[in-house]
Amino acid sequence: MLTQEQELAVKSVGQNVLVAAGAGSGKTHVLVERYVEILRNNPETGLSNIIAVTFTRKAAAEMRSRLKSKFLQLSLDAGEKAQGLDRRWHEAMLEVDGAKIGTIHSLCESILKLFSADCGIDPQFSMLDELTTKELLSQAIEGAIRDIVLSQSEVGESAEAQTSSHQHELFVLNVLDFDKLKSLLESMLRSSMQINETLAIVDRAYLLTGKIALESLRDFASRLLDEVKRQRLRELLQSEKLKRLLQEAASNAIAKDSDAMEQNRRLVLSCFADASKRLTPSASGLAVSSQEIDQCWRLIGEAASINMRGGGRGDDVKAVKEILKELKALCQDFIEKFEPSFNTFDEEGFEGILGIVSLYRMALERYQSAKAELNSVDYNDLIAMTIEALSAPQSRARAFFAERLHALLVDEFQDTNDLQARLLSLLAGDSTRIFLIGDDKQSIYKFQGADVATFNKWRDALRQGLPALKGESLVTKLTASFRSHPHVVGFVNAVFEKVFDSDPAILSYVASFEALNAARPLDESNASENHVDIVRFVEDEEYPGDKAQFEAQMVAQWIKHKIASGSEIEEKSGARRTLNFGDFAVLVQRNGDFQHFEKVFARHNIPFVVFGGSGFLRRQEVLDFENLLRFLDNPQETGHALLAVLRSPFCSLTDDLIHSLADGTRQPLWQKLLAKSEERPDLYGQTVRLLKRLIEDAALLPLDELLHKIVADTAFDLALLAAPDGRQRSRNIWKLLQMTAECDHISAGEFADRLAKMRQLGVRESEAPLDGGDSVKIMTIHASKGLEFPAVALPCLSGGRVALLDKCIYHPYYGIALNTAREDKNDKPGWFKLAAFLNEEMEWEEKKRLLYVAMTRARDYLALFVKEGGRNVKNYRTMLQPILFGADIPPAQGLLAASLNFRGQDQPFNTYLANDYLGQYDWRSGELFASQVGIQDEIKSQAMLLPTMSRTAKDPEVDTLGLTRITARGRRADIAIDEGFDRELISSNFLGTFFHQLMENLPARTRPDEDFLRRYVSDVAFGQSFHMAHGPVLERLLQEGLKLLDTYYESRLFELVQSSPRLFKEMTYLIDSYGEEYKKRQPDLVFEGADGLWYIVDYKTDHLEAGPELQARRHKEQLQSYARDLEALTGFVFAPYVYFARPGILYPV
């Protein structure tokens, strides 16, 4: 079934159509139905006559799958059989795998291969991989810079000529340091299509000469400045806020003409009336002149500078004064946004632009030559060469498509740009009908070259009838949201009606607001439950962890609260069920925010999976493999690599065994290991046998077979599964194995070098994707585009709005600008300031669209996390607060049911302060992380006393490298334990360290419940260095910890501590050793008993084979020295005790 809007988009196959499709409106369904409708209405049209362009390969695969399913359904339909169409649909189903459905780059690749002779390219060309691209770019840039530098080393008369000919390039070399210049030129070369388009707009002769003229640059800058001022003035004069204020000012005259506020009122009204008149085009149609624009600017400046002092005291004066205050603030904000003129540094900036363009062209020529030698192309070449082939006079490629192409369907049209749109239009012939579908509110790929202005231009052109396209045109929309709950839809509408507050007719880079209509019915049985939460929070100064994790703590509490409260969702089938972890998605703006949620979710035992991290090449498991391959390639010369291998899960030797290899000789580590294995085969024999076997395999097997065999022989992927985020680690290894399939012709050492070089050059390689299952999904908003989730959390809304600008910025909208300012001076060219202002405005508009994408991912529940307070900078928090709450922030405590008005209807949401409403957090249980005071004032010091520990617990520090070392001697942990190796795995020293960490942060005077204790001991166990990643070993340590704590809670020590009025753990102090260095002391526990006596206690996990008295003597001197020190420091008498943790004995010494 199709809605009326969908039916119009599907059935209008005889027209060129642009569809603005809102989020969740069934865009892909419409695209598929349109494809089928084209075939149904045109019997002569086959799949070979239709091209469908998608944004990603995944989207293309999904469209093929849906078409195949639809064709199968139609081939079996009785009605279709009656019309004799079943065979046609069956044939279409068989042909769909070969249909032209794919990305624009795959389309271009097929065109270039089909018409390679016309394009002047070998049809066997290949696509550059990222590593080769990085290398070629680096070589091209360094070569171009070297040419300039070497040209200055010429002597004689030619030196002066060279200097003169390269003065602009040399100026750039002086202004920018080498690394910044190299990074800038690489960015420009990667965006060569956009750069060339931009420069051609600045100077039309650029495409012919490869240069831009200084006069052309000045003229472009001057025209753009006028246009921007004109746009800003028009936007101000058409704003609803200004119209309201002027209307109020006009209708609130003050009776006394001489009153100062009345004079101001008349002045402001006169200024705006004059400005409006000057901005109105003349009857002859001539554009408003620069002089008129400048005069309008001065008029707004005059209104912004009115003197608000004086005036009478009557109510009428007060009312006008309030209106004028708002008007003045509005005008001041308008004037201060950017400088409406150039400055004395602009000529320097313009000359620098000429230099940077010249360097770019020199590097581009080198880069193009290098690609030609390799018979390779990059993605820019695909687009540029295809446009060139289609634009050529008597183009065979264009004639081919004009004759055969009946329909061109383009998905996600908002993520294209003018060049891509031009390419697509060149494919269309007289009989071709174009179908463009997308959503300008979801255009979020500016950093990849997408430009929402393209969508806006085509929408306007098709409304007016585009002469270049044959046939009628139609612009329509899809507004029914089948995805989101009515509360979510209403909330999104109410927010973004105010957020999308600019007009695309004035500013081409903004999106227009179009309300969504909720297609899902409201469940009357559960209508009272709000599905949108605004979770406000105040950072707790006493929070023990990283403050950046505090917000993640709020999200974790919200997720657990929603699950515990039994919140229900509606499946697409209509069935209802309660939420589980797999229903939640946490969407953030940056990959860098992932780590905070990973740590907090792990602490809360919330299962999670991270999508889209970019640290693949720096993951420990990848580095382990890289070191192993480096060793296998050259065992004698790779000592550092072998050392890493021995500590990795491949071998899992303990640090003690590795240290014992050091014999003071310069012999290779591999030779030392061989010798040790002869001496102690029980400790080293298995490792040496494994490595010898792998060395033999490396000499005989292809790379991909070698890596598969390594994984099979060592169970490396299974070992990784035992570690935290083990599934991600294991999947990364299989991704690494997939990469070897493309490098089967190189050796193990060469592949290791390749990985290192990719890391060195900054190649971004994402981690392997995971199946989320019943886990919370953590991803960026960009990665979530096209997806939907039952419950969505949107934290991290208080970040800054835009990244730091490059020294050189460029875009077809504002041209190219260079910042020639020195680091310590405020001498930016006015032209750069204008371009930076426009760039920042464009970035902010895209940020708004990004938030729209994020909110519309939610099906049933949406939560926004808004930090109270903070800096007054332009970000999501400061944008949303006045929309959500106006000037009145809700009360701090309790749940508040609130609403936003949208077109006369209230859209409900909940708001509450998380610190109060969500309850106390795990970290506040008992006294676990409670803040405690330092040593009491009466404790006097004759030595320098260190500040006592701030009794705030730290997150267990997980040794990532250590966690990869699973067991001693490479044995399986469960076998090692069964065979009695637990004494080696969990020694007394090791257990002692573990017990000390347990006691340090344990609630002092209360006994927590068993669930808390088990989570707490497990968290601390994970921080215990080497073999704790393995499940059986971890379980053994967990049981040991629980046993020790059970014993402690039944002990005399706990009985004393429970009634202690004052208590200090791990109390650190310094003692002056008679002019020598200070000595640091740290008894485990110091406390005052209920009887007024002071106790010093040290924890020991010794085995008491000889009894407590004999064992206590070994620690007597240490404890008595503590007592002497503290008595000297305080004047109090301290009784020293040893607490033997295994039997739970508190023994005096």
**Secondary structure in 3-state letters for 871-914:** CCCCCHHHHHHHHHHCCCCCCCCCCEEEEEEECCEEEEEEEEEH
- Other CB atoms within 10 Å distance of the CB of residue 592: 12
* pLDDT computed for residue 525 by the predictor: 64
**Binding positions:** 21-28
Q: What is the mean pLDDT of residues 1051-1062?
A: 90
In the block, residue with structure tokens 């006691």: 999
Which CATH number, 1.10.287.180, 1.20.120.1200, 1.10.1060.10, 1.10.486.10, labels domain 616-760? 1.10.486.10
- Tell me the per-residue pLDDT of 989-1046, one tens digit each, with 9 for 90 and over: 678 888 888 888 787 778 888 877 887 787 777 655 444 445 566 778 888 889 999 9
Rounded Cα distance between 148 and 794, Å, is 50
Mean pLDDT of 1133-1148: 91
Terminal Cα distance for the chain, rounded = 86
**Cβ atoms of residues 879 and 896 within 8 Å:** no
Inform me whether the pLDDT recorded for 924 exceeds 50.
no
Identify the residue with better confidence: 1132 or 1072: 1132
Taking the C-alpha atoms of residue 650 and residue 655, their distance in angstroms, rounded to an integer, is 14
**Among 447, 504, 507, residue whose Cα is nearest residue 811:** 447
Residue 168 three-state SS: helix
Dihedral pair phi/psi, residue 580, rounded to 5°: -130, 175
> Is 776 a residue whose pLDDT tops 70?
yes
Average pLDDT over residues 275-299: 81
pLDDT score of 324 more than 90: yes
Average pLDDT over residues 67-80: 94
In angstroms, the CA 1081 to CA 1066 distance is: 9
Q: Could you read off the pLDDT of 1091-1117 as tens digits, one per residue?
A: 888 999 999 988 776 678 888 888 888
Helix (H) or strand (E) segment spanning residue 608: strand 608-610
Q: Which of helix, strand or coil describes residue 397? A: helix
Q: CB within 8 A of 708, min separation 6: which ones?
A: 737
- Of residues 25 and 1113, more confidence is placed in 25
As given in the structure block, the two tokens for residue 856 are 């519309």
Q: Which of 186-200, 377-391, 718-732 has the lowest mean pLDDT?
A: 718-732
Residue for token pair 């550059």: 128
Cα gap 809→640, rounded to integer Å: 44
For the chain, the structural domain boundaries read 4-125+375-478, 130-202+344-371, 224-336, 518-612+773-917, 616-760, 932-952+1052-1149, 955-1050
789 confidence band (pLDDT: 50, 70, 90)? very high
Residue 595 reports pLDDT greater than 90: no
Q: Which has the higher per-residue pLDDT, 466 or 84?
A: 84
pLDDT at 480 over 90: yes
Position 890 scores a pLDDT of: 60
Q: What are the CA-CA distances from residue 658 to residues 647, 672, 683, 981 (Å)?
A: 8, 10, 11, 19
Cross-strand partners of 1139: 1099, 1146
CA dist., res. 717 & res. 944, Å (int): 52
Residue 829 has pLDDT above 70, yes or no: yes
Residue 934 has pLDDT above 50, yes or no: no
3-state secondary structure 107-157: HHHHHHHHCHHHHCCCCCCEECCHHHHHHHHHHHHHHHHHHHHHHCCCCCH
* Residue recorded with tokens 């025209």: 223
Q: What is the pLDDT of residues 37-53, one digit of tens each?
A: 999 999 999 999 999 99
Which of the residue ranges 302-316, 853-867, 1107-1121 has the most confident prediction, judged by mean pLDDT?
Answer: 853-867
CA-closest candidate to residue 291, choices 347, 219, 230: 230
pLDDT tens per residue across span 1057-1098 = 998 888 888 777 766 544 444 566 789 999 988 888 899 999
Tens digit of each residue's pLDDT (9 = 90 or more) over 745-774: 678 888 888 788 777 666 656 555 555 568
Is the pLDDT at 614 greater than 70? The verdict is no
Fold: same for 518-612+773-917 and 616-760:
no
Pure H helices in 902-1051: 914-917, 960-963, 973-978, 982-985, 988-1000, 1010-1022, 1031-1049
Q: Which superfamily does CATH assign the domain made up of 518-612+773-917 to?
A: P-loop containing nucleotide triphosphate hydrolases (3.40.50.300)
- Residue 1122 exposure: Cα atoms within 13 Å on the Cβ side: 24
Between CA 628 and CA 397 the distance in angstroms is 51
- Of 604, 722, 557, 598, the C-alpha closest to 1019 is 604
Tell whether the model's pLDDT for residue 544 goes beyond 90: no
One-letter amino acid identity for 323?
I
Inform me whether the pLDDT recorded for 777 exceeds 50: yes
Nearest residue to 685 (alpha-carbon basis) of 970, 964, 978? 970
Report the C-alpha gap between 322 and 988 in whole angstroms.
76
Q: Is the predicted pLDDT of residue 738 greater than 90, yes or no? A: no
CA distance 1052 to 320: 78
For 163, the enclosing helix (H) or strand (E) is helix 157-165
Asked if residue 951 has pLDDT above 70, the reply is no
Q: What would the pLDDT profile of 409-442 be if each residue is shown by its tens digit? A: 999 999 999 999 999 999 999 999 999 999 999 9
CA–CA gap between residue 864 and residue 821 (Å, rounded): 40
**pLDDT score recorded for residue 98:** 92
Which pLDDT belongs to residue 759?
A: 73
Which of the four pLDDT bands, split at 50, 70 and 90, describes residue 335? confident
Sorted by sequence, the CB contacts under 8 Å of residue 594 that are 6+ apart come out as: 588, 610, 613, 778
Arithmetic mean of pLDDT, 162-168: 69
The pTM assigned to this predicted structure is: 0.73
Q: Average pLDDT in the 581-607 region?
A: 88
Average pLDDT, stretch 955-959? Answer: 34
Give the dihedral sign, CA 416/420/426/428: negative
> What percent of the chain has a predicted confidence (pLDDT) above 90?
44
pLDDT bracket for residue 960 (50, 70, 90)? very low
Q: What is the DSSP string of 456-524?
A: HHHHHHHHH--TTS-S-EEEEEE-EESSS-HHHHHHHHHHHHHHS-S-TTT-TTSPPP---EE-SPP-G
Say if residue 45 is exposed, middle or buried (CB neighbours under 10 Å; 0-12, 13-18, 19+): middle
Look over the chain and give the mean of its residue pLDDT values, rounded to a whole number.
83
The mean pLDDT value for 510-532 works out to 86
Q: pLDDT-based confidence at 502, cuts 50/70/90?
A: confident
Per CATH, domain 4-125+375-478 is 3.40.50.2300: no
pLDDT at 1075: 43
pLDDT band of residue 918 (cuts 50, 70, 90) is low
In this structure, whether the domain defined by 932-952+1052-1149 belongs to CATH 3.90.320.10 is answered with: yes
Annotated binding site for ATP: which residue ranges?
21-28
Query: Is 653 strand, coil or helix?
Result: coil
pLDDT at 1133 over 90: no
- Contacts by residues 990-993 (CB-CB < 8 Å, ≥ 24 positions apart): 990/1024, 991/1040, 991/1101, 992/1099, 992/1100, 992/1101, 993/1024
Split at pLDDT 50, 70, 90, the class of 930 is very low
Residue 797: closest CA among 1087, 590, 597: 590
- Using CA atoms, how far apart are residues 1098 and 1118, in angstroms rounded to an integer? 9
Q: Is the dihedral of CA 56, 58, 60, 62 positive or negative?
A: negative
